[in-house]
């Protein structure tokens, strides 16, 4: 092979040497450098993804701490509230005060135990033949009362016999301690 190389002219030798260097460089780049660069890029992307995961985790941790603090505050508020009357009795009393007692079709109380000894009390109440103003006053009386109850579901249907009157179903919920 070197014999063939010695027969070439100087210009051809330089061309052959350049081609050999080019092919050698391409092989080195293709076998060693390019895979190393791709691996580096992959690791950089993975590091960036992990950084984004860490940022999101820190946001979730902050939100969790905030919710935990809100829960502690809510537990203190529920524990400090003193009401001898049940939610069912309070709702019935509000209905009597507003003259709606005769329009109550049904009342169903529900309770469920939550964490930390807190009990969620709910009452589903059907009120028939009530006007919108009376409904708003009733809900306001419930939600501003000593139970600090919330209307969590409200279903309203107009009556066929008198469209000015409504048939409603309310689900009112409050938190209590045992």
pLDDT of residue 178: 63
* 70 and 106 fall within a common domain: no
CA-CA-CA-CA torsion sign (57, 62, 68, 74): negative
* 74 and 91 fall within a common domain: no
**What's phi and psi for 45, nearest 5 deg?**
-65, -40
* 94 and 70 fall within a common domain: no
**Residue that is last in its domain, among 27, 50, 78:** 78
CA-CA-CA-CA torsion sign (108, 161, 103, 176): positive
Give Cα separations from 38 to 14, 30, 31, 52, 107 (angstroms): 33, 11, 12, 21, 69
pTM of the model: 0.53
Token pair listed for 151? 């209307």
Instruction: Taking residues 66-72, report their average pLDDT.
Output: 84
Instruction: Taking residues 63-78, report their average pLDDT.
Output: 80
Element spanning 121, H or E: strand 118-130
* 100 and 36 fall within a common domain: no
Tallying the residues shown for the chain, one arrives at 178
Q: Which residue has the tokens 């014999």?
A: 3
* 106 and 145 fall within a common domain: yes
Give the span between the Cα atoms of 75 and 54, in whole angstroms.
Answer: 31
Instruction: Taking residues 149-162, report their average pLDDT.
Output: 87
- Of 31-45, 100-114, 131-145, highest mean pLDDT: 31-45
How many domains are there within the chain?
Answer: 2
**What's phi and psi for 58, nearest 5 deg?**
-65, -35
* Domain of residue 138, residue span: 87-177
More confident residue, 86 or 123: 123
**Residue that is last in its domain, among 26, 58, 78:** 78
Give Cα separations from 88 to 94, 146, 148, 172 (angstroms): 10, 13, 13, 9
The three-class DSSP label of residue 120 is strand
The pLDDT-based confidence of 56 (bands split at 50, 70, 90) is: very high
**Residue that is last in its domain, among 25, 48, 78:** 78
- What single-letter DSSP state applies at residue 110? E
Cβ–Cβ under 8 Å, residues 177 and 119: yes
């Amino acid at each position: 092979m070197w014999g063939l190389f010695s027969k070439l002219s100087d210009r051809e030798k330089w061309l052959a040497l350049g081609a050999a260097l080019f092919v050698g460089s391409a092989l080195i780049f293709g076998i060693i450098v390019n895979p190393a660069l791709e691996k580096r890029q992959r690791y950089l992307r993975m590091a960036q993804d992990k950084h984004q995961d860490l940022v999101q985790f820190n946001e979730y941790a902050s939100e969790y701490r905030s919710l935990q603090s809100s829960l502690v505050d809510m537990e203190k508020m529920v524990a400090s509230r003193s009401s001898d009357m049940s939610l069912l009795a309070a709702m019935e009393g509000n209905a009597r005060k507003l003259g709606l007692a005769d329009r109550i079709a049904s009342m169903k109380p529900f309770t469920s135990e939550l964490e930390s000894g807190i009990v969620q009390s709910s009452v589903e109440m059907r009120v028939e033949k009530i006007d919108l103003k009376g409904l708003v006053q009733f809900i306001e009386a419930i939600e501003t009362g000593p139970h600090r109850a919330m209307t969590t579901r409200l279903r309203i249907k107009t009556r066929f016999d008198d469209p000015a009157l409504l048939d409603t179903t309310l689900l009112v919920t409050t938190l209590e301690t045992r």
